[in-house]
Amino acid sequence: MVALVLVALWMRPRGRDFVVYYANPQVHWEELSRYRHVVLEPDHAGLVLPRVGPTVWIAYVSLGEVNTNRPWWPELEGRPWVVEANPDWPEARRVDVRAAEWRALLLERQIPALVARGFGGLFFDTVETPFYLEESDPVRFAGSGEALVTLVQEIRRRWPQLQLWVNNSPRAVERLGKTVDALVVEGLTATWDFRVERSVAVDTAAREAQLRQLRGLQERFPGLEVRAIEYAWGEENGALARRARRVAEREGWPVQVAPIGLDRLQE
């Protein structure tokens, strides 16, 4: 029976490009197998990836922050390079990416374990945090942006076979260039307003400015893939979701419409 299910997953048509899905995937393997690329939260208990089929399973990896729910948080709590809380995500703590201990955790423990489990790519989140810290306190956090760049370059050097995706940081991609394979942009047309806790439309001028920036990146780095996540979930956001899809598809970019928790699959 298991063999038949695995064959079915292998033969399933590849109709959709990608999905970012942070809920527990273990009851949704068949649905997820419809996508060519699937970004997962790797720390769900008992998570074992399917070892057959063409889907590339990509692991969420936070480079600039650590969540207090992570299994290694107790050994990090109180370290001087754990800087401050992220007010938008209360369980997240910003970290100093220059810290040798943090880099060792990623390079010697976390990423090797993900590769051993069968992940074929890494989805780098909180990539903007080092730039934010350096801008907030240029003296204390001098060189944080460059430290982020060298960290990703070292990951590429050690694991050239992996797909490396950057989440929501065009300026990091400007400096990383061909080191990474893809840039995912969040809220190009529809974003989430944490103050009022609902989806809102992005200002047209701001969206057009970002579109020009993204087109420029693809011109400079022809192999760079761009994907979009739009936060316009639910019937009440139907018109906004349709507009967001049109904008991304006009550029030739795959798009996911999702709730802010990225815990639902598109119909």
- In contact, 182 and 166? CB cutoff 8 Å: yes
pTM of the predicted protein model? 0.91
Distance CA 223, CA 182 (A): 8
Which sign, positive or negative, has the C-alpha torsion 152, 156, 159, 161?
A: positive
Query: What whole-number distance in Å separates Cα of residue 147 and Cα of residue 103?
Result: 10
Q: How do beta strands 16-21 and 190-193 pair? A: unpaired
As a CATH number, domain 2-257 is 3.20.20.70
Q: Kind and range of the H or E element at 56?
A: strand 56-62
- pLDDT tens for each residue of the chain, 267 residues long: 444 444 444 444 345 899 999 998 887 888 999 999 999 999 987 888 987 789 999 999 999 999 999 988 999 999 999 999 999 888 999 999 999 999 999 999 999 999 999 999 999 999 999 999 999 999 999 999 999 999 999 999 999 999 999 999 999 999 999 999 999 999 999 999 888 889 889 999 999 999 999 999 999 999 999 999 999 998 888 999 999 999 999 999 999 999 999 998 875
Would you list the domain boundaries of the chain?
2-257
